[in-house]
Structure 1
Amino acid sequence: MLNTLKKVFGFESFRPNQEAIIKNILEKRDVFAVMPTGGGKSLCYQLPARIMKGTAVVISPLISLMKDQVDAAIENGISAAFLNSSLSPQEMSGIYQQLKSNDLELLYIAPERFAMPSFLETLKTIPISLFAIDEAHCVSEWGHDFRPDYLSLCNITQTFPHIPVSAFTATATPNVQEDIITKIGLRSPYIIRASFNRQNLFYQVKSKTGIESQIVDFLKEHEDEPGIIYRSTRDSVFRLTEFLVDQGISVLPYHAGLSPEERKRNQEAFSRDRVTVIVATIAFGMGIDKSNVRFVIHADLPKNIEGYYQETGRAGRDGERADCLLLFGRQDIPKIRFFIDQMPNENERSISMEKLYKSVKYASHNVCRRRQLLEYFGETYTEENCGACDICAGNIEKVDITVDAQIVMSAMSRTGQYFGIRHIIDIVVGADTKRIRELQHNEIKTYGAGKHKEKKHWQFIIDELLAQEAIAQDGGQYPVLIMTNKGTEILYGREKIEGLKREEIKKKPKAFKVSGFQPYDEVLFDKLRVLRKGLAEEHKVPPYIIFSDMTLHQMCIYYPSTLDEMITISGVGETKLERYGTDFTKEIRAHLDKNPDISIPERSPSDLTVNRPQQKVKESTIEKTYEFFNEGLSVKEIAKARNLASSTITGHLESLIRDGRVAEIDRLIDPAKRNTIEEMFFALKTWNTGPIVEYSKGTVSYDDARLVRAYIQRKTI
């Protein structure tokens, strides 16, 4: 297990719970795992898929995520593919052939495909190592994202009685957990409920004042950092996107009203770092595996805590620090209640209202955000101060608000408890409105009793009364304020009430650190990001699939300038060392040459020798490719024989051409086409392959351009 972890994935140790889950899968036992987003679920089935005989079948509703997952697996040297409606008949046929030939270690499918009788018959004819069900909460009607397609999985253990089944989710409450296990029919599963505590996330709630200016101010603090802004409606997505574009921010929209092509295009632009910010409804994100999202903003109140937790969980999946900002205004509550009231099923309405109430409680209570989230999922948080939320990091002062609370509740009582927040505040501050005059509320005793303080203060008083359940909101789209028994005791002076006044922090505190985080060379990091993006464009994958930000940060701390040193960096496995090691060590050496005063920290001998058997991996793997080439095999034939991607073999041949060991490339590319590509390089005055492919309108592949580039460069030495 540990050998595969390092060789394939480039990691020295498992994250919490991964090892136990993998051991049970390897022992062919069913597993149920609740793990937070970014907790490393995919490795729990990808690593066994590499070790076990047969094909691991992963069932996931996230069609848009499948390609990225498969690309990431292939980059790690795992033979993987997906089957979904985005493929052409020819592509599907090729994957079925791979499946029947036992050439796939990992296959991703959507739940509706599993329901097809013909596909089930195909699965029965091939060796299957395991089934992994991702987003397993979708099978439960008690969950926040029930999908009827998932009900076809209820027969999986009966249809394949000897194959281990693992179910993974990030958001199941204990009740939903029991429902999932029962519905899927897991057999005495090994159960893991990992901690929901995402230590690297900073949670913050701010009152909505001017939403657009608040978001722009936040983005200025996170310049050039990728992030997601969630809005509740398509119209608000459109308006905010237009506004941010006018502010010069690199941003695109995403919602269900866009065409599938535009949604795919916008999501890909975000995944591949071509655009910095995406403004979206909750339709976005289920299919995003981008590891370096540095912030998530909820510009509207989430309908439930499960959705909020999952959406914030898309930040900081690489383990680095990330921000989660919620802009809360009570005007969002009636909008959500309106949609809840349209639900025909009374039980469904009741569950949704309870979930909304808990979402409001989270946003309005001045209690540690982390503690509230963890308690929702049945987890006790024992720390007094988490240090990574606005409550724990801000300045909080307890103040007696009894008198002001009595003023508010007196206004409510004297108007019959028939009015909402805005009207009650208008009465208290003595506003001269047409409605107040018509209702003669300017004549009641409490009118103007609070005119010496701003409306913002009285909003704070009402928020505290609501949060501490001294008053409540009653009614549908336009709720009114009513008093509870506790409120009555306060109004008549039989009980006191305190409020928590806090100063809203402007920036994340410097004290907020992630365990193990170290300062890194930011200049080198920017250079490596540019290199990573260029390689990602060539290989047609998102940059984070090449290397995560965390892996780049390690490179910018330890400056690995040789392949022996590079293999010791977390996230660098053998296949990635083959493909990218030379490019990154070259960039790092150039940076060190320009900055001779850089002090490189020492690492323990065990860090530097852990992979000694693989020291010459790049040299030896090129030799194997050279042997096959001399036997007359084509690039595709060598790739198949070596179980590597064609782009990897092309990389080996590039090195061999530059070294002069492959002198002629006529076998690799037609001479006439080679001459045309040579002319393009000279005409465009670039060594980048992207412009060549674009200029040729797709008639020249990246691999063709790389081979010709190496050939030209060898001739000019």
Structure 2
Amino acid sequence: MPLSVASRLDLSRARDVLHEVFGYTDFRPGQDEIVAAVLEGRDVLAVMPTGAGKSMCYQLPAIVRENLTVVVSPLIALMRNQVAQLRANGVAAGALNSSAEPDEVRETLADLRTGRLRLLYIAPERLARPETQDMLARAGVGTIAVDEAHCISQWGHDFRPEYRDIGAFAERLGQPQILALTATADEATREEIRERLFVRQPTVFVHGFDRPNIRIAIRPKANPKRQLTDFLDSHRGESGVVYCSSRKQTEELADAFSGAGFHALAYHAGLEAAERSRRQDVFLQEDGVVMVATVAFGMGIDKPDVRFVAHASLPKSIEAYYQEIGRAGRDGLPADTLTLYGTDDILLRRRQIDESEASEEQKRIERQRLNGLVALAEAPRCRRQVLLSYFGEDKSPACGNCDVCVDGIETFDGTIPAQKALSAMVRTDQRFGEVHLIAVLTGETTDQVVRFGHDKLKTFGCGTEFTKVQWRAIFRQILAAGLADVDMANHGRWILTEDGVAVMKGQRSVTFRRDVVEARTEKRGRRAEQREKITAAGLDAVETRLFEALKRERAALARDMNAPAYVVFADRTLLDMARRRPANRTEMSEVHGVGATKLSTFGDQFLRVIRDFEG
């Protein structure tokens, strides 16, 4: 839709504000058309990948139009950090939530009464209160921005019931403009958001899901603690997150990483609220912190310089995986990921779905999402192609930035090994688990094998060409391919499916991956070299030392302010500073991310660091 003259002028003004206030020279891909639609007064539903700059799509219009935008967010951490960033840039912003200090609340309410406030962040539960709605009705709301809008859907990953009431609240205010934003929403979820939230038909933007700066790697579990420690070893001094499936695992891995010399902290819902908050602040304010956490951590953490995300176990779905790895590299600089998985992970996730109280339709959808993630883990081709294909982007070239593209993957005809395994299931009456079946295949005379007479079966010892470790990989891929299922209610017995029967009868063939538990030495060396380049981010030796000096100054300022380090300046800004080495305020104003307010507040301190730096 072509822009009117007035809209073009508004967009030009927004571009000026982008530079004057935030210090950015241009929009990120896709931001300009969304900002233009909002400035035209249209209702908007925007699906943008994590790190694409969704918040700028409502922050800029609020500043340009000088009206009140209410931002509904389920995440106190995100509210707190975005308000801190906005205030550091000279924008009148505030939040109303349970963690806000009394003085901060009084200041926010005063700005709201006088009409000075541009952005008010509020939790959906607070918004549902009648007194809050009365107050906002008096203040006059120009726009309601709904962040994490997938929560409106009953399929939302982080469902909050109060999200369903936002539409009724908007109606009470006379239907102000509505902007809904999310990083993950398939067509069914987008349709439900439209039905529940919008009275007017919104303009829908669905931007590409690709995050090319993120390296994707997925490995079968061998020794998870060692695998993760090796991964962290190539990221010493960098900030990152390791996701775990349980509170106990977070504590155990955090202890192991600390013992290996990393600044590692555990984070889970079992900690006291004050201690969780303290650890979160350490992660935000300091460099080189490894947060070992359950998925309770990360939503709303707007830290742009997370350099890696690892998963100690398989995430719950492909959407969850995409959101979680998306917390790395939000600044657009290279970032790294590693996900470990095994048969137990697949079975656990399936059991969680089956035992949930969800409807059968929701269970079907969740199984489909899990299957998408398992297919990604077992894929013999470019990971990014598989991931983007799941989200409907089928024409992506091989990325050259995933483990399959970099290391390659070896496949083999798995039909005969699969037939042997499936035959072992049938000949043992489909009553036994993986350990027993592998013992039969490898000819191991365990007490149980002898007791049941399975050492007399034709399949006994028919699989000695593979080790136990290799058979575990084959069984995992049999499960992933849907050739067998596991009845966890009956001692984990393996049962053939229709597809498994077809393979056993020779009616279809299967291809398996040859597991690469550990890449060859020369490949590990090449990856280490690549990561060294990622860490240096194109700086020479002198610039790298200046960059570290600038980071130390930033850390000191952040501690004094009790604010996240990136509220002062993001890594990308410090990298640009180290390259440019500005000598005065005029040159400093041209550095990426240095707006007028931050130039006035912090410019002289960083100019002093650059001036005093001796290389």
Q: TM-score, with normalisation over the residues of structure 2?
A: 0.91
The answer as to whether partners of 2:238 and 2:287 remain within 8 angstroms in 1 is: no
Q: CA deviation at 1:8?
A: 0.7
The answer as to whether partners of 1:114 and 1:120 remain within 8 angstroms in 2 is: yes
Ranges in structure 2 where 5+ consecutive residues have no aligned partner: 1-13
Pick from 357, 362, 372: which aligns with 1:358? 372
Letter of the 2:373 partner, please give it.
S
1:303 counterpart residue number:
316
SS in 2 for 1:418: coil
Pick from 557, 568, 571: which aligns with 1:535? 557
SS in 2 for 1:266: helix
Q: In 2, distance between residues paired with 1:227 and 1:88?
A: 29
Higher mean alpha-carbon deviation, 481-490 vs 555-564, is at 481-490
1:522 counterpart residue number:
544
The number of residues matched between the two structures is 591
Pick from 383, 387, 403: which aligns with 2:416? 403
Q: CA deviation at 1:54?
A: 2.2
The answer as to whether partners of 2:237 and 2:287 remain within 8 angstroms in 1 is: no
**Alignment of structure 1 residues 162-241 onto 2, 5 Å:** 163-241=176-254
Superposed CA offset, 1:38-63 (max 9, x none): 11011111111111132211110111
Q: CA deviation at 1:486?
A: 4.3
Superposed CA offset, 1:270-301 (max 9, x none): 11116611111111111311111111111011
Distance 1:339 1:477, change over 3 A: farther
The answer as to whether partners of 1:204 and 1:389 remain within 8 angstroms in 2 is: yes
SS in 2 for 1:228: strand
Asked whether 1:555 is paired with 2:577, we answer yes
The answer as to whether partners of 1:83 and 1:92 remain within 8 angstroms in 2 is: yes
Q: In 2, distance between residues paired with 1:131 and 1:519?
A: 42
Letter of the 1:239 partner, please give it.
E
Superposed CA offset, 1:294-326 (max 9, x none): 111110111111211111111111111111111
1:67 counterpart residue number:
80
2:11 counterpart residue number:
none
**Alignment of structure 1 residues 430-469 onto 2, 5 Å:** 430-469=443-482
Q: CA deviation at 1:472?
A: 4.1
Q: CA deviation at 1:425?
A: 1.7
Q: In 1, distance between residues paired with 2:251 and 2:582?
A: 45
Q: In 2, distance between residues paired with 1:79 and 1:260?
A: 28
Asked whether 1:380 is paired with 2:394, we answer yes
Asked whether 1:100 is paired with 2:122, we answer no
Higher mean alpha-carbon deviation, 175-184 vs 349-358, is at 349-358
The answer as to whether partners of 1:56 and 1:106 remain within 8 angstroms in 2 is: yes
2:586 counterpart residue number:
564
Asked whether 1:7 is paired with 2:20, we answer yes
Higher mean alpha-carbon deviation, 112-121 vs 357-366, is at 357-366
The answer as to whether partners of 2:28 and 2:53 remain within 8 angstroms in 1 is: yes
SS in 2 for 1:331: helix
Asked whether 1:579 is paired with 2:601, we answer yes
Q: In 1, distance between residues paired with 2:78 and 2:331?
A: 17
Q: TM-score, with normalisation over the residues of structure 1?
A: 0.78
Q: In 2, distance between residues paired with 1:510 and 1:142?
A: 42
The answer as to whether partners of 1:173 and 1:378 remain within 8 angstroms in 2 is: no
| CA RMSD, 1 decimal | 2.3
Asked whether 1:545 is paired with 2:567, we answer yes
Q: CA deviation at 1:269?
A: 0.8
Higher mean alpha-carbon deviation, 301-310 vs 236-245, is at 236-245
Q: CA deviation at 1:484?
A: 4.1
Asked whether 1:159 is paired with 2:190, we answer no
Q: CA deviation at 1:226?
A: 0.7
The answer as to whether partners of 2:485 and 2:494 remain within 8 angstroms in 1 is: yes
SS in 1 for 2:21: helix
1:255 counterpart residue number:
268
Q: In 1, distance between residues paired with 2:116 and 2:501?
A: 72
Q: In 2, distance between residues paired with 1:494 and 1:168?
A: 48
2:283 counterpart residue number:
270
The answer as to whether partners of 1:55 and 1:129 remain within 8 angstroms in 2 is: yes
**Alignment of structure 1 residues 659-698 onto 2, 5 Å:** none
Identity of aligned residues (%): 40
Q: CA deviation at 1:561?
A: 2.4
Letter of the 1:372 partner, please give it.
V
Q: In 1, distance between residues paired with 2:348 and 2:417?
A: 29
Distance 1:117 1:13, change over 3 A: same
Q: In 1, distance between residues paired with 2:47 and 2:346?
A: 30
Q: In 1, distance between residues paired with 2:565 and 2:282?
A: 11
SS in 2 for 1:265: helix
Distance 1:462 1:335, change over 3 A: closer
Letter of the 1:109 partner, please give it.
I
Pick from 27, 51, 56: which aligns with 2:69? 56
Higher mean alpha-carbon deviation, 478-487 vs 294-303, is at 478-487
1:343 counterpart residue number:
356
Distance 1:478 1:100, change over 3 A: farther
Q: CA deviation at 1:402?
A: 3.1
Q: In 1, distance between residues paired with 2:221 and 2:280?
A: 28
Higher mean alpha-carbon deviation, 487-496 vs 172-181, is at 487-496
Letter of the 1:359 partner, please give it.
L
1:707 counterpart residue number:
none
Letter of the 1:572 partner, please give it.
V
The answer as to whether partners of 2:347 and 2:486 remain within 8 angstroms in 1 is: no
Q: In 1, distance between residues paired with 2:433 and 2:285?
A: 47
Q: In 2, distance between residues paired with 1:466 and 1:335?
A: 13
Higher mean alpha-carbon deviation, 495-504 vs 71-80, is at 495-504
Superposed CA offset, 1:68-97 (max 9, x none): 110100111111111111235554333212
Q: CA deviation at 1:380?
A: 2.2
Q: In 1, distance between residues paired with 2:103 and 2:411?
A: 68
Q: In 2, distance between residues paired with 1:461 and 1:502?
A: 9
Distance 1:554 1:89, change over 3 A: closer
Distance 1:463 1:509, change over 3 A: farther
Distance 1:572 1:116, change over 3 A: same
Letter of the 1:577 partner, please give it.
L
SS in 2 for 1:237: helix
Higher mean alpha-carbon deviation, 69-78 vs 466-475, is at 466-475
The answer as to whether partners of 2:305 and 2:571 remain within 8 angstroms in 1 is: yes
Q: CA deviation at 1:221?
A: 1.2
Distance 1:126 1:302, change over 3 A: same
Q: CA deviation at 1:418?
A: 3.0
Letter of the 1:174 partner, please give it.
E
The answer as to whether partners of 1:28 and 1:163 remain within 8 angstroms in 2 is: no
Q: Whose radius of gyration is greater, 1 or 2? A: 1
Letter of the 1:72 partner, please give it.
Q
The answer as to whether partners of 1:341 and 1:476 remain within 8 angstroms in 2 is: no
Q: In 1, distance between residues paired with 2:173 and 2:147?
A: 18
SS in 2 for 1:28: coil
Pick from 299, 308, 319: which aligns with 1:286? 299
SS in 1 for 2:155: coil
The answer as to whether partners of 1:203 and 1:388 remain within 8 angstroms in 2 is: yes
1:643 counterpart residue number:
none
